[in-house]
Amino acid sequence: MQLVLKILFKAFPRLLRSKAPRNDGEGGMTTPPARHCEALKEPKQSRKSIKLIYLFAIILLLLPIKLSAKEDSLLRDAEIEDVLKSYINPIFEVAGLNPKSLHLYIVNSKDVNAMAMGGGHIAINTGLLLRATSALQVISVLAHETAHLADNHIMRGIDAYEKALLQGLLGTLGGVGAILAGSPEAGLAILMSSQHLAERGLLKFSRMQEGSADQGAARFLDKLGWSSLGMVEFMDLLRKDDLLSEQFIDPYVLTHPLNSERIDFFRSHFNRSPHAKAQLPADFEDNFKRIQVKITAFTLNPAKTFARFKPTDSSLLARYGRAIAYFKNSQLNESFAEIDSLLKDYPQDPFFWDLKGQILFETGKIQDATKAYEKAVELRPDLPLLRVSYAHALIESGDKNKLEKAFSELLRAKTEEPDNPFTHRLLAVYYGKKGETGLAALYLAEMSLGVGDLATAEQQAKRALHFLKNDSANLSRAKDIMEEIKREKALESSWGL
Ligand SMILES: [Zn+2]
């Protein structure tokens, strides 16, 4: 598990802006609903949706600042992403959305919340993943968010937010740079952690849209033969939280108000559904327990994990949790003992190898880390994030003979996940080590563009143009990057950034 560096938050405005139209337009496995295509043909609509996505990006971007950099950030983890996608993909398919258009963000925040925004973007907080008590509850939330996407809902109050954001916030702070520098008083920076905006009726969908998203969620669950018990349980759980604390309200309740109509709707749906008692595929629940243990062990105090699992508990979950908690606690021998015992019992589990690779890598045992990651990649060749970790270890191993292997892993990862700035960074390192200055500059430009650092992107793209004079294919990519930088700058200035 990696917490994305703060600088990478800068990537989101650009990634989201550039992705939204492209993915909506792509045919892919399922045809997007006609209205999505309509929207694309209509430039005003398209610009509007780009703006909305941009706002979403800013919201994400502001999020870590509000609660300090200590623990709030986006989180990337091959296993957690894989598990959540295994829940969302079937829902996307029955909703008529292309699973490839999904952009999933796991926000490391204690607040219980999830949100959807155009172009296939869904963000879910670790707080929600830990508060839910079953996979089905998380699935019901994801089904509801998917319904917002499928119906192309637009958040109420977004214009007011937009105005306030641009005039007030950006006016005061002087742009994204200042936002990144951090101002806890940045007022509007609070969608997922504060009640302020939601209480004023901003940044939530209308009551009608909430109702229609609930109906959509119920319809998707029916189509899949999955129970709506999860939504009934999750709403009860949030209501209990609400009753227990006058001070604190789960932000989810504020962005998705729990009125009695919603609760009645799901209760009656549940009561008459033929799938009310249907069980999910067995591994859905097991995997959910695993990611809960993983998130707890990685993001909360290790003491929590040690308190939950007695030393005598030799279950998979106990050993997994302790392997991570010991690692976080710098008790490396204990950590290795746990992960090795898991690998002895479950040698075919890619994520145990991934964890072992991470622990080895982060404790400087790079050669051994390459072997663990190699095994993880062999077991799940479809997960680009594992390949990037493998390539990183190969490059850092200092063994020149391993450079080409790293390179081929990076190219493969890039094919499957083209926009990961970390892949570009590693490609730049690779070319740097090969003495290919022009290509190193090209990938540094690509990475900088990816993280929204336009000044560095421009500087590196200029170097690439200079050094790649005689390499027509790569020269044209460098020219494209220069063009993209120009467009980004124009867009930013039109936004008053
Ligand atoms: Zn909603």
CA of 22 to the centre of ligand 1 (A): 25
pLDDT band at 77 (very low <50, low <70, confident <90, very high): very high
More confident residue, 54 or 286: 286
CA of 256 to the centre of ligand 1 (A): 5
CA of 128 to the centre of ligand 1 (A): 14
CA of 148 to the centre of ligand 1 (A): 7
pLDDT at 204: 63
CA of 213 to the centre of ligand 1 (A): 6
CA of 209 to the centre of ligand 1 (A): 7
Q: What percent of the chain has pLDDT over 70?
A: 71
pLDDT at 240: 83
pLDDT at 56: 53
CA of 410 to the centre of ligand 1 (A): 38
CA of 305 to the centre of ligand 1 (A): 32
pLDDT at 203: 54
CA of 231 to the centre of ligand 1 (A): 12
CA of 120 to the centre of ligand 1 (A): 15
Report the range of poorest mean pLDDT among 51-60, 78-87, 280-289, 419-428: 51-60
pLDDT at 19: 33
CA of 42 to the centre of ligand 1 (A): 26
341-394 pLDDT per residue, tens: 999 999 999 999 999 999 999 999 999 999 999 999 999 999 999 999 999 999
Report the range of poorest mean pLDDT among 26-35, 112-121, 207-216, 425-434: 26-35
Residue 170 has pLDDT above 80, yes or no: no
pLDDT band at 109 (very low <50, low <70, confident <90, very high): confident
CA of 57 to the centre of ligand 1 (A): 18
More confident residue, 257 or 483: 483
Mean pLDDT over 35-48 rounds to 35
CA of 416 to the centre of ligand 1 (A): 30
Report the range of poorest mean pLDDT among 70-79, 128-137, 242-251: 242-251
pLDDT band at 3 (very low <50, low <70, confident <90, very high): low
Mean pLDDT over 485-492 rounds to 80
Mean pLDDT over 451-455 rounds to 81
Per residue in 105-138, is it b (16+ CB within 10 Å) or e — as a string? bbbbbbbbbbbbbbbbbbbbbbbbbbbbebbbbb
CA of 205 to the centre of ligand 1 (A): 6
CA of 153 to the centre of ligand 1 (A): 9
Mean pLDDT over 430-434 rounds to 96
- Residue reference for tokens 């309740």: 253
Residue 121 has pLDDT above 70, yes or no: yes
Residue 74 has pLDDT above 80, yes or no: no
CA of 48 to the centre of ligand 1 (A): 20
Question: What value does the mean pLDDT of the chain take?
Answer: 78
CA of 211 to the centre of ligand 1 (A): 8
